Structure 1
């Protein structure tokens, strides 16, 4: 029988920070992330028994691979600690989480660090778009001669919803508005000081210009520098660590459910495969249903809120119905009713999500898990969901090729 996996806390860097502008490199970002986490959870680096890092494209942005060795570079006490890197595009952090969980479940280790990191603002915007484009697409087969690959791809997802069910611009705009509004409450979000006016979430070509197809500026997640770390522990180790700060095991909620599915790398292939299906991405639905089943809950009514992958507004639109908040193609109902807003029945992205909080690609899955921990331990501050006992997350990689879902449970 596998053991419980608990989250004892962690740390997130300020996602508004431009590290290259401050003449700091990936090593500095990694080091601040790790030490911020160690201090936050009252753990010494030498206690860490295993370590995992999620990262997508450090080779391209920073000319740096082999990131497992950064743990010892950042904390010499970790010399000899087994460490490894994981990559699955925007779901890289979740792959690191899944691997760390399996080590604790199997009884190999009792305390494991999971760190996600990405430095992406050290090159011009067009170059950044290229660096995060081709590697996660089907290289040489998708988005050839497309300037901004990902807005193009997720615009096609929106077009598929429009074709199957109908889709209104104002519903995507409301997703964007909610996420930017939530981000203003988050002291670590990239956009917390951004200003908007009444035209920002409209089809005004000056205030909200078109990027590609139906995707406009404020439909997009951010190019972000950032790191996040969480620490996973067995029951016994979690109880020992939280006691140091005079806390109880309720401050180390357990990961009660998870799901992980991988589909064809090509978007057209995925859409063709689901042509006659009820849901646009059946594999994403399957990952979510696995999460609910393992957590022993029937669906979204058993979860107090979600952090979801809103790389673009159509992605969150898709997540709403795949999570079961609405029937397929009816996400607009939850948006119009205010169900997904902070204070609604199924709040989504209280942190601001990828659109508002920021999207350092390899760190996003880890950041989502940290925000779930904040919610169920009543540490989310101004973006706290009242009396949250159970929080879910959905992290996607590429054109939803990789899907990973988790539930964090205070019980």
Structure 2
């Protein structure tokens, strides 16, 4: 039983001062139904990806708010998923399983997060709840700390200097900024070259946690995205099919304890499983939206995805593979780095972006006549690794 995407919605990402968690939900629910040309009464259930409405907005139990928006959904099943930064992709995967089980035919998936209501200290505390709290969050270990460990582990394993790594990471940031300038929904729309980033004085690009600097970090964002999924038998016209998907869990602790600190093992496992299920190779994928919560994450995903061998990730940048004109363009949306990273919305945003690309309705840069795309969405320190392959039919 195949599952198709038949509609998508994507809000502006950024500091949305006039929006609340509730208004973001409302815009997403109404917007995706409009895009799918569908009535709420046709929806069998709702899955919501939301990392921490409780910490950010004093609102847990957000899923049933769909009924406040659309009373036709009353008494339909409502679920919220939470797997840190992959919460949105987890909602999609749960919705796919509901359809494949035969219990539902059409499902609405909404991803949303309103992060900017808190100050920096509050945001840091909320995000630290995605760590293993007794040994990490409670001891002031945050996401930059953990991904800095990944960067340091990669440097040590492959005998690179911090300066060599910094030059490669600047290319990733510059690529994200350039792509985002053409995405009207992106949070940052100002281009910077790699040379410009490297030339910034320390006060303009401070060290957040060595070796990672400000321009290596993704954004604090508000936003929402949504999809309508349905059993393929309900619609025969051309569209986009979710050809395969997999979610790989891993140890709830930082890199270098139980998990590698130089290779993204969980992501690699999920990519391999998803490609095998689709009977495809990475060279069959036309584009990808991947998790660049930090620039080091994107760099190491090149090897996890099989684009390069481990320790040779920089080759994907040097030979142009991952740029817009390359054989596998990565993060044409601008990625988390520049498009924005409203945590619960991120995974749904990635899927919505690939869907719109394949439907020739892209937000921003449009690739012509492409048939497939991959989403690689990571939660926590590689603890939840969600991968999907989408294909036009």
Asked if these proteins are the same fold (TM beyond 0.5), I'd say: yes
CA apart distance, 1:393: 0.7
Name 1:255's counterpart in structure 2: 242
* Distance in 2 between residues matched to 1:125 and 1:266, nearest whole Å: 23
Aligned residues: 388
Contact 1:343/1:385 (CA < 8 Å) preserved in 2? no
CA apart distance, 1:236: 2.7
**Which of 379, 386, 389 is equivalent to 1:397?**
379
Name 1:50's counterpart in structure 2: 45
Residues 272 and 165 of structure 1: CA distance in aligned 2, closer, same or farther (over 3 Å): farther
Name 1:72's counterpart in structure 2: 67
CA apart distance, 1:305: 1.0
Secondary structure of 1:88's match? coil
Name 1:216's counterpart in structure 2: 213
CA apart distance, 1:410: 0.9
CA apart distance, 1:199: 3.0
CA apart distance, 1:381: 4.9
Name 2:3's counterpart in structure 1: 5
| Alignment of structure 1 residues 359-374 onto 2, 5 Å | 359-374=341-356
CA apart distance, 1:300: 1.5
CA apart distance, 1:320: 0.7
Unaligned runs of 5+ in 1: 240-248
**Which of 275, 284, 292 is equivalent to 1:302?**
284
* Distance in 1 between residues matched to 2:5 and 2:234, nearest whole Å: 11
Secondary structure of 1:67's match? coil
Alignment pair present for 1:188 and 2:185: yes
Contact 2:15/2:116 (CA < 8 Å) preserved in 1? no
Task: Give TM-score scaled by structure 2 length.
Answer: 0.95
CA apart distance, 1:143: 5.1
**Which of 142, 148, 154 is equivalent to 1:149?**
142
CA apart distance, 1:273: 4.4
Contact 2:372/2:391 (CA < 8 Å) preserved in 1? yes
1:276-297 Cα deviation digits (max 9, x unpaired): xxx7232221110011011111
CA apart distance, 1:113: 0.5
CA apart distance, 1:195: 5.8
Contact 2:178/2:334 (CA < 8 Å) preserved in 1? yes
Residues 97 and 320 of structure 1: CA distance in aligned 2, closer, same or farther (over 3 Å): same
Name 1:177's counterpart in structure 2: 174
Contact 1:350/1:385 (CA < 8 Å) preserved in 2? no
Task: Give TM-score scaled by structure 1 length.
Answer: 0.91
| Alignment of structure 1 residues 176-325 onto 2, 5 Å | 176-192=173-189, 194=190, 196=192, 199-202=196-199, 204-239=201-236, 249-250=237-238, 252-268=239-255, 271-274=257-260, 280-297=263-280, 299-325=281-307
CA apart distance, 1:301: 0.6
* Distance in 2 between residues matched to 1:273 and 1:354, nearest whole Å: 24
1:130-162 Cα deviation digits (max 9, x unpaired): 2112x110102015554x711111111111111
Contact 2:184/2:363 (CA < 8 Å) preserved in 1? no
Alignment pair present for 1:159 and 2:142: no
Contact 1:54/1:93 (CA < 8 Å) preserved in 2? yes
* Distance in 2 between residues matched to 1:205 and 1:237, nearest whole Å: 56
